[in-house]
Structure 1
Amino acid sequence: MAAPTVVSSGADNPFLDKVLYANTQYKSEIQKEYNSLVSQGNTALAAKVEKLTNVSTGIWISSNALVPTISTHLQEALNVQKQTGKEQIVLLVIYDLPEKNCASSGPHGEFSYANGGEAKYQGFIKDIAAQLQLFPDVKVAIILEPNSINDTVRNLSTPLCANVASGHKKGLAFAISVLGALSNVNMYLCIPDSGFLLWPANILPAAMYIGDIYTAAKNLNPNATTRGVATDVGGYSTLDQEVKYHAIFAPYLTAVGYPAHFVVDQGRSGRNVTVGSDKCVQGAGLGPRPTSSTANPLLDAILWVQPPGETDGNSTRCELYGSNPTNIGTGFWDSRAFRSLVTLANPPL
């Protein structure tokens, strides 16, 4: 059985000398895959899958109904912390802005601005804060609202995105003002990956947009802070691509008064694939394992934010795994996709 991942890096890195919490939900999926492979006689692939038993992945809070599960995970992390004497850090992904994914076919969420979405989202954030405050001794890293900045900054010509941009900025600022004031929380605002922001026309407007959000958050609560930004969440860009991007973008963040620290999702980024879709991309493999031993002062940690094996929407590209795209929705487990990611892992398992 694989050992838990202990991370260490610079003195101010929130992941320093902590164990990345491996949540029981993902462990269960790994165990099911292992059992299935063993029963099929595929012991070679089963051995690789078993190595993922204690890997940490993001816990996505994408609806009001999931908010109570936060305390379940934090209690489990606290139990492990007490049993092992090793401090845990839990990776949460907050993902419920009103009318999210404004430029894509992804889920638009349960809140609408026309039906009190701004106030409902604020209530959602306050409820999350209440859960986190119950466990002050458990450290939490929060990835805030994947796709929001990506969609609004690059798609303002799309009517829905233009209509929600102001609301998204307010929502992100409010979330930072509340969650970023908690002593056990480090926040990373999710931003686009290198494939978008390295275009000269995009990089300055994006930095200014991020700076505006942070300024608004500090105006709401001067005690609120963020640690940095998260990149390549749910994406496929390789680590070297993202690290180069971080180095280029960091001065822009500093210029607008935003902390220039990064975490990067590498759960499906092991291979330099040609991406024509962000879903079920052919030839993708598991990337570098979660760690903060990055030898890079800008990069706090390599993470697996999007759990490998969980689907992230419909696409005809999913047919490349033999799956039926009409029957695959966001957040479901796709065994074929997972096994392909394991087989093509880089570094290999």
Structure 2
Amino acid sequence: MTYSRDRPSRLRRLALASAAVATLLVLSACSAAAPQPKVTTIHSEKNTAVFQGGLYLQKDSIAALAASRLAASGQSADASVAEQIAKVPVAIWLGDQYDDTQVVRKIELNLAAAKKQGTTPTFVLYAIPNRDCGDFSAGGFTAEKYPGWIKAVTGALKGHKATVILEPDSLAMLSNCADEAAVRIPLIRNAVKELSAAKVPVYLDAGNSHWVQPTVMADRLEKAGIEYARGFFTNVASYYPLDDEEAYAGKVSALTGGAHYVIDVSRNGTGWKGTWCNPDGTGLGEHPHVTDGSTKLDAILWVKSPGTSDGTCNGGPAAGQWFPRYASDLVRNRVQS
């Protein structure tokens, strides 16, 4: 029998090739078995990370400033009421009273204070064109000005822990001024996309449990970019019980791919009193807090600044101004929690 002179070399090459294949198979099996790192998105992040450290308490809130003014003018009883409200974390409202430079400064001051506290501030952006459809809280920027303002806000928030409540009533109120949709929805969609790209968790307007049907609200949220947002908010500046809001929000969440949500309980301590504008007999809701994360409800907040007027109704001053009599009602009838 004749053997090729290179037979041993061939055998060695075959052996080496077989070993290499075996090594690749082992590595592939190990890779498949090893747990893959989870990619955290704005939707999947835990609510305790979204509101890291809990809720920020602003030292110069509307209530705190009112307390100082009232005390200085000798109105000690009204000052005491304002001081009690000032002890509770409340969202910070940013509207067209702040130009681009001023809004950045306002944000930076509160971000710095929140960092010292180790908490997360919530900012309310309230400057959409034809805000409140021209009612008591009328105002807002023009459609040309609004995107630049949003860019300024986004630039100030980028890289910091904060959450944003984007334009209360803006989507729910389209039931009252449907003609605004053509301008408003694209502006909101662009705003949420920009903020979310900067990794700022955003909540969009979903009205409240007694306003817009869940299917209609879900459709508006989809058009406004809910897929880019953390979720939506309900009951801002309204009075409905938490159970009503959770039931409604659960339906809207199910219709929007399981979106998270927050609920304003600042003035729902005694429920609906027949009118939205400075009703008598209202009370502060339960203390705001981050939830345990067992549902899509991220946090129970005080978004509306309790004690501020809804407008010139029932003896109130202009919208957003401190209303001592109303503040006293809220504190007197507050929920004990």
Q: TM-score range by the shorter chain?
A: 0.7 to 0.9
Which of 102, 105, 109 is 2:135 aligned to? 105
| Residue identity in the other structure for 1:247 | G
User: Do structure 1's residue 57 and structure 2's residue 90 form an aligned pair?
Assistant: yes
Indicate conservation of the 8 Å contact 1:58/1:304, yes or no.
yes
Q: In terms of Rg, which structure is larger?
A: 2
User: Do structure 1's residue 292 and structure 2's residue 281 form an aligned pair?
Assistant: no
**Which residue pairs with 2:105 in the alignment?**
71
Q: Distance in 2 between matches of 1:270 and 1:167?
A: 36
| Residue identity in the other structure for 2:261 | F
Task: Provide structure 1 residue ranges, at least 5 long, that are not aligned to the other structure.
Answer: 1-9, 112-116, 156-160, 219-224
Q: Distance in 2 between matches of 1:298 and 1:52?
A: 28
Which of 306, 318, 325 is 1:329 aligned to? 318
User: Do structure 1's residue 187 and structure 2's residue 198 form an aligned pair?
Assistant: no
Q: How does 1:276-287 map to 2 (within 5 A)?
A: 277-287=275-285
Q: How big is the shift at 1:79?
A: 4.0
Identity of aligned residues (%): 26
Cα gap change, 1:283/1:232 in structure 2, threshold over 3 Å: closer, same or farther? same
Q: Distance in 1 between matches of 2:168 and 2:140?
A: 16
Q: Distance in 1 between matches of 2:132 and 2:156?
A: 26
**Which residue pairs with 1:4 in the alignment?**
none
Indicate conservation of the 8 Å contact 1:21/1:77, yes or no.
no
**Which residue pairs with 1:140 in the alignment?**
162
User: Do structure 1's residue 32 and structure 2's residue 68 form an aligned pair?
Assistant: yes
**Which residue pairs with 1:341 in the alignment?**
330
Cα gap change, 1:342/1:120 in structure 2, threshold over 3 Å: closer, same or farther? same
Cα deviation per residue 1:66-110 (whole Å; 9 max; x = unaligned)? 55244334334424534x5x2x211111111111222x6233324
Q: Distance in 2 between matches of 1:50 and 1:332?
A: 16
Indicate conservation of the 8 Å contact 2:103/2:153, yes or no.
no
Q: How big is the shift at 1:11?
A: 6.4
Q: Distance in 2 between matches of 1:162 and 1:11?
A: 34
Indicate conservation of the 8 Å contact 2:164/2:203, yes or no.
yes
TM (norm. structure 1) is 0.75
Indicate conservation of the 8 Å contact 1:100/1:108, yes or no.
yes
Q: Distance in 2 between matches of 1:212 and 1:182?
A: 20
Q: Distance in 1 between matches of 2:76 and 2:191?
A: 48
User: Do structure 1's residue 271 and structure 2's residue 270 form an aligned pair?
Assistant: yes
TM (norm. structure 2) is 0.77
Q: Distance in 1 between matches of 2:103 and 2:87?
A: 20
**Which residue pairs with 1:196 in the alignment?**
211
Which of 234, 237, 243 is 1:240 aligned to? 243
**Which residue pairs with 1:231 in the alignment?**
234
Indicate conservation of the 8 Å contact 2:55/2:290, yes or no.
no
Indicate conservation of the 8 Å contact 1:143/1:230, yes or no.
yes
Question: Cα RMSD (Å) of the superposition?
Answer: 2.8
